[in-house]
Amino acid sequence: MFSGDSTAIGMKPMTASLFRRHAVTVGLVLALVPALPALAHPKLVSATPAADATATPTAKLDLSFSEAMVPAMTSVTLAHMMGKMAHPIAGTLRFAPDNRSLALMLARPLPAGTYSVEWKSVGADTHKVSGKYQFSIR
C-alpha cells in the first residue's frame, strides 16, 4: 500500500497532460490577479510648492495622492510661520474629477516667509492618512 503506487489506495495517477493544464491555469490566474492595492495606504506623491522648497509667490497649493481621497473627509491647513507662531491662511479646496489631486486656492499670492502645510484625509479605501511639510516663499 505504501509502495508509491497511487492506484494501491484507490487514486488514479495524474497524467502529465492534466498536470500541465492545471499548472497553466494556476499560472494564468496568478498572472491576472492585480497587485493588492488594499495593502497600501494612500500617499502624497507630489506637492507644489514642494516640501522644503523655496518658491516664488503663489496663490495656489497643489497636492496629488496615490489614490482617490474622500473630499468630504479631507482638510488642508496652511499657516504662515512667524517664529513659533502659526498664522492660519484661509483657502478653498478644489478637487480634480478623479479625487486624486486637489488645489488649495488662496485669495492672494503668499508673501515671503515660511509656511506649514498639514493635510488629513480618508482614502477611498477608508484608510485615514495625514501628513505635513514646510516650504518657503522668497
Q: What secondary structure letter does DSSP report for 10?
A: T
Contact of 89 with 106, CB cutoff 8 Å: yes
Three cell numbers written together for 28: 494564468
Check pLDDT > 90 for residue 118.
Answer: yes
Answer with the residue of higher pLDDT: 84 or 30: 84
Three cell numbers written together for 130: 495625514
Point out which residues pair with 46 in neighbouring strands.
Answer: 64
Instruction: Beginning with the edge strand found earlier in the chain, give each strand of the sheet holding 60-65 in spatial order.
Output: 44-48, 60-65, 101-106, 91-95
pTM exceeds 0.95 for this model: no
CA 58 to chain centre: 25
Q: Which tens digit of pLDDT belongs to each residue from 124-134?
A: 889 999 999 99
